[in-house]
Amino acid sequence: MEVFVQQLINGITLGSVYGLIAIGYTMVFGIIGMVNFAHGEVFMIGAVISLIIYVMVTTVIGVSAGAIFFALMMCLVIGILTTSILNWAIEKVAYRPLRGSFRLAPLISALGMSYALKNFVNIYQFERSSNKSVPSIITGNIPIMTSSDGFEVVLNDKNILIVLVTVVLLTIFWYLVQKTSLGRAQRACEQDRKMASLLGIDVDRTIAITFAIGAALAAVAGVLYLVYYSTVSYNDGTVPGIKAFTAAVLGGIGSLPGAVLGGLLIGIIEIMWSNYVSSDYKDVAVFAILIVVLIMMPQGILGKPEVEKV
């Protein structure tokens, strides 16, 4: 029982990171109907920037509790600004010119941008090293229970931080989409971009802002990823990005709560499978379960059935 509880905590923590990345996927797909496959690399760049800023700040002012807090705040601010500008540029250069072309063109452009970003980071930051790491950033923990054989279930401070940040950001962006003028513009563009434009909504601006918001969430996820693993690789945008997209589809693409729910399910499945079956087949299990769920519920868990326009 104690092992199960500990793995459940780990799964929820990992799933929260996937959920934050998945929100970016689901927001972009919801508004323009296109999968931004470069989003995983934007998340990776956010994590790399966080690592660089964290090392620079702690090298100058030390690693006291106050210094670590200041370093993480700098990681958040600089990471959000950098990735938001990057994603805005990606949308303007790689996606906007292809918006009216045949459906495969934006997909190919997204894949090309993904590989371009990954190789750029590999060449200019990692060189011969496959990953870069820092000492564990947050180490505090709270004991919860102890088994008869001495196994102790602990709730780490980083577990609490990651889940809390995910809940807060989900609430903020759900409110933004449902209750603000920007959210109404996004929902109007999702339903019919041409009609939204005729009603006075700046469609290009709304889409660009959506890309920037998705990148900001990816940057936050990158900081949390660094806090959780204390290491970053230039390949870290690929597998987490695909799993986050899987989470968005599983939860119901277009639904913000669904994206986070899908992320939690993916994280829990991955951790439980690794612990109780085999870590070698954890990815197989995740995608196999996705296939089964989508066969029974093609729209995802919280998604709405697609209404065909006539």
DSSP, residue by residue, 181-218: HHHHHHHHHHH-HHHHHHTT--HHHHHHHHHHHHHHHH
Residues recorded for the chain: 310
Q: Residues with Cβ < 8 Å from 176, sequence gap 6 or more?
A: 182, 183, 213
132 confidence band (pLDDT: 50, 70, 90): confident
**R_g of the chain, CA atoms, integer Å:** 20
Q: Could you tell me the pLDDT band of residue 27, with boundaries at 50, 70 and 90?
A: confident
256-276 and 238-251 helices, crossing angle to 10° = 120
> Of 151, 153, 130, nearest to 141 (Cα)?
153
Please tell me the predicted confidence (pLDDT) of residue 11.
Answer: 92
Any idea which residue has 């899908």 for tokens?
262
Q: 307 falls in which pLDDT band (50, 70, 90)?
A: low
Helices (H), the chain: 2-32, 39-61, 65-90, 104-121, 157-179, 181-191, 193-198, 203-229, 238-251, 256-276, 282-296
**Spans of all domains in the chain:** 2-296
State the average pLDDT for the chain.
86
Lowest mean pLDDT among 38-42, 150-154, 166-170, 258-262: 150-154
Model confidence band, residue 309 (pLDDT cutoffs 50, 70, 90): low
Tell the CATH topology of 2-296: ABC transporter involved in vitamin B12 uptake, BtuC (1.10.3470)
pLDDT digits 0-9 by tens, 278-298 = 777 888 888 887 788 778 888
Q: What is the mean pLDDT of residues 221-233?
A: 90
Residue with tokens 């994590």: 47
pLDDT of residue 126 exceeding 80? no
Whose CA is closest to 83, among 132, 136, 47, 133? 47
Res. 74: pLDDT tops 80:
yes
pLDDT for residue 129: 63
36 pLDDT band (50/70/90 cuts)?
confident
The two tokens of residue 10 are 């780990």
pLDDT score, position 45:
93
Q: Is a pLDDT exceeding 90 seen at residue 151? A: no
Q: Side chain identity at 155, as an amino acid letter?
A: L
**Tell me, what's the pLDDT at 128?**
59
Question: Which pLDDT does position 164 carry in this prediction?
Answer: 93
Instruction: Kindly report the pTM of this predicted structure.
Output: 0.90
Q: How confident is the model at residue 306 (pLDDT cuts 50, 70, 90)?
A: low
Q: 14 in helix, strand or coil?
A: helix
Is residue 11 within 8 A of residue 272, CB to CB? The reply is yes
Picking from 253, 242, 226, the residue whose alpha carbon sits closest to that of residue 41 is 242
For residue 52, the 8-state DSSP code is: H
pLDDT at 26 exceeding the cut of 80: yes
3-state class (DSSP) for residue 131: strand
Mean pLDDT value across residues 24-53: 87
127 pLDDT higher than 80: no
Q: What's the pLDDT at 261?
A: 92
Over 60: is that where the pLDDT of 123 sits?
Answer: yes
Residue with tokens 């959780």: 228
Query: Within 10 Å of residue 155's Cβ, how many Cβ atoms?
Result: 17
pLDDT of 122: 85
Does residue 277 carry a pLDDT above 60? Answer: yes
Determine the pLDDT at residue 216.
93
Pick the more confident residue, 294 or 187: 187
For residue 31, give the nearest of 218, 197, 186, 178 by alpha carbon: 186
Over pLDDT 90: what percentage of the chain? 32
Q: Look up residue 309 and give its two tokens.
A: 């326009």
